[in-house]
Amino acid sequence: MANCGAGTAYAVDIIVIQRVFYKQNFGFLANLLLILTTQLVGYGMAGILRRYLVYPAAMIWPSNLATVALFNTLHRHEELAPGQWTRQKFFAVCVIGSFVYYWIPAYIFPAITTLTLLCYIQPSNVVLSQLTGSQGLGIGVISLDWNTITAFLGSPLITPWWAQVNIMIGFILFAWVMVPIAYYLDIWNAKTYPILTSKLFTTDGYYYDTMSILTPTKTLDETMYNAYGPLRIATFFAIGYGVGFAGLTAILTHTFLYHRKQIWAQWKEARGASQDIHYKLMQAYKEVPEWWYLALFSITVTLSIVICEVWDYGLPWWCVLLAVGISALFSLPIGLIQAVTNQQPGLNILTEFIIGYILPGRPIANVTFKTYGYISMSHAMSFLGDLKLGQYMKIPPRIMFMTQLIGTFVAGFINLITANWLLSTRPNICTPEGGHFTCLSANVFYSASVIWGVIAPERMFGSTSIYHPLMYFFIAGMVIPIPFYLVSRRFPGTILDQIHIPILLTATGMMPPARPFQYANWLVIGFCFQFCVKRYRNSWYQRFNYVLSAALDSGVAVSALMIFFTLQVHEIDFPAWWGTNMNHCPLDKANFYGQVPSNKPKPVAVVPAIQNNN
């Protein structure tokens, strides 16, 4: 139940950008139904995919291993020699330590979340700030905050080392090779804009005032757009889209090359016997009939169509079906990747690309289609992962099904109530002046709604656009896995067997809002535990690694809740000192946020943003 509500519902971002940026509010009922349907549609698909992604022994779902270790720690008695620590004791000590320590980076000494050591050499140097600042490319930045490091990629103590190597290669090639080359060669006039930001700009470096090119119904006004000019984005943002294009097609090619035989064998076996001992033991319980899943799928899809038709989301019924169809098509190949690597390639770029061509100029329709197309798949994966957890822990499938539904309903209500409370009570929410509430994900979500919805892919990436070369990344992603597959078959047992092109290409899909230093620190910790400790202290790794991961997460979660509800929500800040200043690299913050214009720009006269090449 907790897993269902641990993360914020993706549809909340639709509600946030509607109210904050587009000045719309469809009301509590529409928002609640949107959240619940986008969360539940994927559950129906998950039921059909159980035989491929849950029952086989090869489908490990590494994210469950820490949870399983935690449950075993809490409930299994250990017979140990005198002086040896039990896992219960180790977990308790680590939870307390994590709880106490998190007060330091979260409240007392937040500067240690991003120690920009190299930037201190010459803080006023623009290039040094761009390369070594925490809001830039993050080279040499050290973070001593577990929550910051794991915010987007999860625990590095769980993801297998071979998968982390692929993530590392993809991250270095993208963030520390491709982006600096493109930026300092001034490709696409890159130096006119910050090196890393999700903000939107005009061709001459001013902030893009989206509202001035929209009609009262929040669709594109072509006359005003022609007067205002085309949209420009940061080089980091643009290349990130290109790599995302390549990752999508690489998933399909990789799945066909590496998994076609496995999928076909499992298809033929269907409900036949499985070699997984956990699956065999689960036969003691009644399985959930497939018609339960089909009924849930049919009801939620029908309700989704009703929502989009009754309220003005701008999405016709057939578009809802198309979004769900895309999600269903990709669920199996993406599930195969996540069940083995603990990494989930996203469909957000593909879905917004498709609807951007079908319904250009409609930002809310674009993000709604994206949510139904992307999150349906994502929640199918979440549901399947929990079904595997239930299989590991021998929980009756029908109990799992019901608790998943209950948890999702409860989480949906809490998500919406919390969002409405914050939007109604926090001044300047989702802006740089919003204090703790700058809404990094919602800002990226809003920028994407403008790029793919308002401007639309034909204008943004069409043949007349400067970003058109990014379209060739689709072809590149389709082709790149082929030579690696052929060579690995010709020379088995080499390092090439560990190269996983979809993971390599989609590794950086969370940037922005994730920042490069988070990836770098995540990889360092992963190397320490998944390579060094596992190889040289394997007995300790087997007993305590996953327990440590669960303990760090648990301590941070409880500490964060206490800090928020006792202090931050009441705006009780720690007394200002050097350690509470997060801007020790002066140009650092400007690289990400830029400067909010003091007056609302107009198509004929706009206010300039901070220029990195001043």
Per-10-residue mean pLDDT, the chain, length 614: 76 88 87 90 87 80 77 71 78 92 89 85 82 86 90 85 88 91 90 85 84 83 86 89 87 79 60 64 86 91 91 88 90 80 74 89 90 88 88 88 89 90 83 73 86 88 88 90 86 77 82 87 92 89 86 91 85 82 57 38 46 41
Query: Is residue 570 in some structural domain?
Result: no
Structure token digits, residue 354: 């498709």
Residue 498 is classified by DSSP as G
The predicted pLDDT at position 48 comes to 85
Q: What is the rounded radius of gyration, in angstroms, for the C-alpha atoms of the chain?
A: 24
> CB burial class (10 A; 0-12, 13-18, 19+) of residue 493?
exposed
Query: Is residue 569 in some structural domain?
Result: no
Alpha helices in 311-362 (DSSP H): 317-341, 348-358
Q: How many CA atoms lie within 13 A of 503 on its CB side?
A: 24
Task: Count Cβ atoms below 10 Å from residue 384 Cβ, excluding itself.
Answer: 26
Q: Which structural domain range is residue 210 located in?
A: 2-62+109-536+583-593
Which of 107, 100, 95, 155 is closest to 552 using CA atoms? 95
Residue type, 500: H
The predicted pLDDT at position 79 comes to 67
Please identify which residue in the block is written with the tokens 């620190």. 521
Query: Is residue 546 in some structural domain?
Result: no
Residue type, 590: A
Whole-angstrom Cα distance, residue 17 to residue 11? 10
Whole-angstrom Cα distance, residue 48 to residue 50? 6
The predicted pLDDT at position 81 comes to 64
Structure token digits, residue 232: 């420009």
Query: Is residue 383 in some structural domain?
Result: yes
Structure token digits, residue 559: 């500490």
Query: Is residue 558 in some structural domain?
Result: no
Query: Is residue 504 in some structural domain?
Result: yes
Count of domains forming the chain: 1
Query: Is residue 90 in some structural domain?
Result: no
The predicted pLDDT at position 49 comes to 87
Asked if residue 608 has a cis previous peptide bond (ω within 30° of 0), the answer is no
Residue type, 416: L
The predicted pLDDT at position 593 comes to 37
In sequence order, what are the residues at sequence separation of 6 or more whose Cβ sits closer than 8 angstroms to the Cβ of residue 400? 288, 386, 387, 390
Q: How many CA atoms lie within 13 A of 163 on its CB side?
A: 23
Query: Is residue 236 in some structural domain?
Result: yes
| CA angle, residues 106, 112, 114, in degrees to nearest 5 | 105
Whole-angstrom Cα distance, residue 364 to residue 352? 11
508, 174 Cβ separation under 8 angstroms:
yes
